[in-house]
Amino acid sequence: MGAMNKTVFVGVDVGASRTKVAVLDGEKNLLGFCVRKSGTDFQKTAEECLEESLKMAEASPESVGKCFSTGYGRKNVSFRDDTKTEIGCHARGAYHYFPIAITVIDIGGQDNKIIRLDDQGRRVNFKMNRKCAAGTGAFLEEMSMRLDIPLEEMDGLARTSEHMVELGSYCTVFSGTEVLEKIRQGEKVADIVKGLFYSVIKRVMEMDSLTDRIVMTGGVVEHNPYIVEMVREITGKDVLVPEHPQLTGAVGAALFAMEASLTE
């Protein structure tokens, strides 16, 4: 049976790069979702994502109990009931999947976040990299263009690497020059891509020290699962990943929407 007459709760995460919508039922099950490029009209993209997510959930717009928005463009969502911070939503979403003391590493399109939570899901501290694209999805997108390979092929390529090419520079601009230089020197593309993944990880690890239990989220993690394996290898720590890592913030927003409607 669909959720047509069941109340659902919606979370909208409008990132600078991608917009994510998650639809949950009252039992916190994910019924529908959608991810699209945010583009230049955040409002329109959010509406389209909502429509697609509700269709997948077999729910009508009237069945939405509450909708919370988060992310870079959260104020652009006209159908929201309220907004929540990105840090709050990512923490809530990650703790929903792993209700233990964790360090959340979110690698997004335009920024990285590291959020430390205690075993009650309370935030101990957080760090955010907003100033520079290095170590984000935008960095990998730029490098895929420089290498002239589709972004979705980078993960498979990196896995075939037998000799990683380490890059000295973090800066996206300098890295681009360095990558071209490595190609000129005859380095294999797979080895360069693995080196790019490594520079993303190194960038994140320099932001904060990591605890024993790491949860990795975000679009970069969803589309490049090899990065998770590399983090496991480099840190020797347990790395957990939710089923849909890119939706973590949207799921967190939907959970906040559900809690708000229960307290009314």
Please report, for the domain that includes residue 159, its CATH number: 3.30.420.40
Which pLDDT does position 1 carry in this prediction?
42
**Tokens 């990591």 label which residue?**
210
Assess contact for 11 and 70: CB atoms under 8 A: yes
Distances (CA, A) of 169 to 144, 162, 199, 227, 234: 16, 21, 8, 19, 19
Q: What angle do CA 58, 64, 65 make, to 5 degrees?
A: 140
Q: Is the pLDDT of residue 3 over 60?
A: no
| Residues 206 and 134 grouped into a single domain | yes
- Could you tell me if residue 3 is inside a domain? no
DSSP 134: T
Residues 256 and 201 in one domain: no
Question: Looking at the domain assignment, is residue 19 inside a domain?
Answer: yes
Of 208, 263, 262, 253, give the one whose Cα is nearest residue 235.
Answer: 208
Is residue 256 predicted with pLDDT exceeding 70?
yes
Across the chain, mean pLDDT equals 93
Q: How many domains does the chain have?
A: 2
pLDDT digits (tens, 9 = 90+) for 173-203: 788 889 999 999 999 999 999 999 999 999 8
**Shared-domain flag, residues 123 and 184:** yes
The reply to whether 65 falls in a domain is yes
68 and 147 together in one domain: no
Task: Mention every residue, 6+ apart, whose C-beta is less than 8 A from residue 262.
Answer: none
Residue 152 placed within a domain: yes
Query: Whole-angstrom Cα distance, residue 195 to residue 226?
Result: 12
**Residue 254 belongs to domain spanning:** 8-89+247-262
- Same domain membership, residue 195 and residue 142: yes
In this structure, the answer to whether residues 153 and 47 fall within a common structural domain is no
How many other CB atoms sit within 10 Å of the CB of residue 130? 12
Band (66; pLDDT cuts 50, 70, 90): very high
Place of tokens 């409008």: 14
Q: How confident is the model at residue 4 (pLDDT cuts 50, 70, 90)?
A: low
Whether residues 217 and 106 fall in one domain: yes
Report whether 257 contacts 22 (CB < 8 A).
no
| pLDDT value, residue 2 | 47
Q: Please report whether residue 38 resides in a domain.
A: yes
Is the pLDDT score of 89 beyond 80? yes
In a domain, 1, yes or no: no
* Mean pLDDT value of segment 215-235: 96
Tens of pLDDT along 36-65?
999 999 999 999 999 999 999 999 999 999
Q: 198 and 117 in one domain?
A: yes
Give a yes or no: residue 95 inside a domain: no
Q: Mean pLDDT lowest for which of 98-102, 115-119, 126-130, 146-150?
A: 126-130
Q: Collect all residues with Cβ–Cβ distance below 8 Å to 174 and sequence separation of at least 6.
A: none
Same domain, 104 and 229: yes
Query: Has residue 128 been placed in a domain?
Result: yes
68 and 140 in a single domain? The answer is no
User: Which pLDDT value is given to residue 78?
Assistant: 96
Q: Please tell me the predicted confidence (pLDDT) of residue 176.
A: 85
If asked whether residues 118 and 227 sit together in one domain, one would say yes
